[in-house]
Amino acid sequence: MLTTQDRLDISETLALYAAIVDTNQLDRLDDLFEADAVYDMTATASGIGAIEGIEAIRAAAGRLAASEHAPLAHFVTNIIATSDGDARATAQSRGLMIMADGSIQAVSHDDELRRRDGRWRIGRRVITPLGVPTAGAVDHR
């Protein structure tokens, strides 16, 4: 079961992600991710897919930051953390991103976290866009 401190620490880890990527401090991704982490953007239109390992995540983040398509700012909210053990947890959260063209995009984060050396780090993150019509949806405009 997660303690109040665990919940605060997990929330801090997720918020730190936004601060690190928004300021392009990609050398600090080790503070967030396990060395063997998976960052899965398969459901997005980015074409990036699933990325395995911290160095591959760092390289992909660098390419995205250098592109015209990188978000300008990330906001993490609605964090729900659960655990059935001492060293592993899951967190579901929502993300809002302000894009370079001024649009706002919403996503769902599904994270698996591990506690190592007293710190929570992300071992797996799955990004799912929100508000995207599903197959067969009817446009009511």
Mean pLDDT of 105-118: 95
pLDDT value for 32: 95
3-state secondary structure 72-120: CEEEEEEEEEECCCCCEEEEEEEEEEECCCCCEEEEEEEEEEEEECCEE
Structure confidence by residue, pLDDT tens digits, 23-80: 999 999 999 999 999 999 998 877 788 999 999 999 999 998 888 788 999 999 999 9
Rounded to whole angstroms, the Cα distance separating 22 from 4 reads 27
Would the pTM count as exceeding 0.85? Answer: yes
Element (H, E) at 20: helix 4-22
pLDDT value for 7: 96
pLDDT value for 33: 97
